[in-house]
């Protein structure tokens, strides 16, 4: 029976090929645009998610604030002084996975490779690499032994290596930071542009053990801030309250005093960017779907015209024993053949447009940051096919029902 329905559908399509071609063009363009816009929207969403998470998926920064004490005016405010003993206290909480100290040392003069450059320097502990997703391409990161021994070692960003040594490797080189001798033990993997970052990009940073930074550039044993990871993303807000309570016990301020510590949760920014990306993705899919709906309406119209033109034929078939179900399936089959045939052409068109977009990309860090890679995926192909079948069924439903309800006597009297 399926073969008969398919055969009838193909014969009718050949008989009215020009009309089918013009109507199918709407479906082809609709599914091509749908595939392109959906792929683009998905790519933008994934691209923005990846770029916002470059700084760390769950990192939360805790900055020292001030605490009120007896008296009035500015003199009645006491600054909270965080130190290297504070981060180890936090992982004892069930809400905190790991914590580390970090200290900003400002712009410093770095001399190496026959060049002198001003670079951004930070004192860090070993857990910083994991917490804020600082990836080392060659060598290693700062270790606990480096911090304990106050070693003069540096981990430099990929851009810093390029600025000082050009195409030569910086690993193992002796350099001077503000006149102090250091050895480069690690070079970061290039990240390029970052959607979110507190300070310069990772590629432009120079990291040294925090104990060394305190000894050389600090005025006391204070650290700049604490960065930590909650055990799960959803526990971020609860972990902030817990961290404030833990540090409050050691720095003599009540947990409710919010000005004592300021927190920056990276997930809040990531959530905002992802919301924008999701909205853009939905908008693009809606635009493609609307174009596809217009093509579906065209198929429905052509099938309605086909029913009107073939009233006598359909009435004769019904008089000779064809059931309403037979006519319903025949018209529905024709709609599906037109839709699926045009859809295959449309998918090829969408694939071609994606290939053109990728071919037009210029290989640069700026382009990689602004323009995502668009690719045709099996998931997209399956979804497009499902949308095509649904469009074909909906487009052929009304004409098929009209054909099924034809009265043979009335149909045979049609001129």
Q: What is the pLDDT of residue 56?
A: 75
Determine whether 186 is exposed, middle or buried from the number of CB atoms within 10 Å of its CB (0-12, 13-18, 19+): buried
Q: What is the pLDDT of residue 304?
A: 65
Q: What is the pLDDT of residue 55?
A: 75
Could you list the mean pLDDT of each consecutive 10-residue stretch along the chain, which spans 415 residues?
Answer: 60 65 74 78 75 78 83 67 91 89 92 92 93 91 95 95 92 94 94 72 92 88 90 88 91 87 85 77 75 70 65 66 71 74 80 77 62 70 70 68 64 54
Q: What is the pLDDT of residue 305?
A: 67
Phi-psi domain of 371 (left: phi exceeds 0; alpha: psi -120 through 50; beta: other): beta
Q: What is the pLDDT of residue 277?
A: 73
Q: What is the pLDDT of residue 125?
A: 94
In the structure encoding, which two tokens stand for residue 300, read together?
A: 């429905």
Q: What is the pLDDT of residue 400?
A: 66
Residue 336's nearest CA partner among 377, 385, 272, 294 is 385
Q: What is the pLDDT of residue 338?
A: 74
């Amino acid at each position: 029976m399926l073969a008969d329905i398919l055969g009838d559908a193909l014969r009718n399509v050949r008989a009215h090929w020009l009309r089918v071609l013009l109507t199918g063009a709407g479906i082809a363009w609709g599914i091509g645009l749908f595939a392109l816009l959906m792929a683009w929207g998905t790519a933008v969403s994934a691209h923005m998610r990846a770029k916002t998470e470059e700084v760390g998926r769950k990192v939360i920064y805790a900055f020292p604030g001030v605490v009120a004490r007896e008296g009035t005016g500015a003199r009645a405010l006491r600054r909270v002084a965080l130190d290297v003993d504070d981060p180890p206290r936090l992982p004892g909480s069930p809400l905190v996975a790991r914590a580390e100290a970090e200290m900003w040392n400002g712009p410093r003069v770095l001399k190496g490779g026959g060049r002198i450059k001003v670079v951004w320097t930070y004192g860090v502990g070993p857990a910083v690499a994991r917490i804020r997703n600082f990836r080392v391409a060659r060598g290693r990161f700062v270790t606990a032994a480096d911090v304990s021994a106050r070693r003069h070692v540096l981990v430099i960003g990929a851009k810093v290596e390029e600025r000082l040594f050009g195409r030569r490797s910086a690993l193992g080189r002796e350099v001077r930071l503000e006149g102090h001798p250091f050895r480069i033990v690690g070079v970061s993997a290039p990240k390029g542009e970052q959607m979110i970052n507190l300070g310069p990009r990772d590629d432009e940073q120079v990291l040294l053990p925090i104990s060394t930074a305190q000894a050389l550039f600090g005025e006391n044993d204070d650290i700049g801030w604490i960065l930590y990871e909650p055990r799960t993303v959803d526990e971020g807000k609860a972990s902030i309250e817990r961290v404030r309570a833990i540090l409050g016990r050691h720095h003599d301020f009540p947990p409710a005093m919010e000005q004592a510590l300021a927190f920056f949760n990276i997930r809040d920014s990531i959530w905002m960017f992802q919301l924008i990306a999701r909205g853009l993705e939905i908008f693009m899919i809606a635009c493609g779907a609307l174009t596809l709906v217009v093509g579906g309406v065209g198929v429905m119209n052509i099938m309605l015209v086909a029913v009107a033109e073939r009233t006598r034929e359909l009435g004769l078939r019904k008089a000779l024993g064809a059931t309403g179900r037979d006519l319903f399936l025949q018209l529905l089959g024709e709609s599906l053949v037109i839709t699926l045939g045009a859809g295959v052409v449309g998918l090829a068109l969408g694939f071609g447009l994606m290939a053109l977009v990728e071919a037009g990309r210029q290989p640069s860090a700026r382009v990689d940051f602004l323009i995502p890679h668009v690719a045709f995926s099996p998931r997209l192909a399956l979804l497009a096919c499902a949308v095509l079948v649904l469009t074909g069924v909906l487009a052929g439903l009304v004409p098929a029902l009209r054909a099924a309800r034809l009265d043979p006597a009335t149909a045979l009297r049609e001129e």
